[in-house]
Amino acid sequence: MTAIEGAILEIRAGVGGGEAALFAKELFLMYQRFAARRGWEVAVLSESPSDLGGYREVTAQVKGDGAYHTLYSESGVHRIQRIPRTEKSGRIHTSTASVAVLPQAREVDIYIRPQDVKMEFFRSSGPGGQNVNKVETAVRITHLPTGLVVSSQESRSQQKNREQAMMLLRSRLLAARQEAEQKKIAAERREQIGTADRSEKIRTYNFPQDRLTDHRIKKSWHNLPAIMDGNLDPIVEALSREIPMPKSK
């Protein structure tokens, strides 16, 4: 198989309520700006906005040479420490958001039998759940053998949403296969840095101290405004040297 160039980026708000959703949105914008610096394209596949303008969750396709290879090590739980705008007493809050970076799978990578999927169509929804499309263009696909559910609603074309949802399903199935392989490797090599366990807190964004710390490699960087503006190059380069990427089959 040739190197996988595209990636699927999934970000979900974790602990922290509205502040976690705002953090999830900021992480997405950070990766979007980083992608623009690299000349990559970012296309939102599905999103669930929060009431305060954040993201409960968002899934996007990142198209570009080396996108998965570069972003792979971003998978994990990201933690933010700062004083929220709504905080009256000046207390520092801690919130989290999870990031998953999946390899964008092609049909030749993962074959899905037609009888193994259940396809449903519904109307696209906007903030607050209101329908923003009078036609059922959004697509939800359930993979019956595994129970995985994916959806796509950003395109006005039902066929386009169907293609994007199938691509997302293949990518998640490929990621699950690679994760299982990585767990086998980790069991044999306990000393190896990094695993496929996405529940691990990998990074802290400490705004009062203007410091980002990656706990896996025990290294910190300063100037958080620049980092959140997409200046991730020093970080991804350091991680690429120390965290092995799973081999494609």
Terminal C-alpha separation, the chain: 7
CATH of the domain at 178: 3.30.70.1660
Q: Assess if residue 63 is contained within a domain.
A: yes
| Residue 249 forms part of a structural domain | no
CA distance 118 to 181: 27
Let me know: does 119 contact 33? Beta carbons within 8 Å: no
User: What confidence tens digit (pLDDT) does each residue in 16-47 have?
Assistant: 888 999 999 999 999 999 999 999 999 998 88
Residue 248 lies in a domain: no
Q: What is the tally of structural domains in the chain?
A: 1
Question: How many residues does this entry show for the chain?
Answer: 249
pLDDT digits (tens, 9 = 90+) for 149-189: 888 887 778 888 988 888 888 888 888 887 776 666 455 43
Cβ(11)–Cβ(55) under 8 Å?
A: yes
Q: What's the pTM?
A: 0.70
User: Could you tell me if residue 44 is inside a domain?
Assistant: yes
In a domain, 193, yes or no: yes
Single-letter amino acid, residue 222: H
| 190 within some domain | yes
Higher pLDDT, 127 or 235: 235
Q: Work out the mean pLDDT of the chain and round it to a whole number.
A: 82
Q: What pLDDT digit, counting tens, does each position of 135-158 carry?
A: 578 888 999 988 888 888 877 788
For residue 124, which phi and psi values (nearest 5 degrees)? -65, 145
Select from 131, 97, 244, 112 the least CA-distant residue to 170. Answer: 112
Provide the 3-class DSSP secondary structure of residue 201.
strand
Provide the domain limits for residue 77: 7-242
**For residue 137, is it within any domain?**
yes
Give a yes or no: residue 2 inside a domain: no
Kindly tell me the burial class for residue 222, based on how many C-beta atoms sit within 10 Å of its own C-beta (0-12, 13-18, 19 or more): exposed
Model pLDDT for residues 112-133, shown as the tens digit of each residue: 888 888 988 887 665 444 444 5
The stretch 81-96 carries a mean pLDDT of 83
Residue 205 confidence (pLDDT) = 96
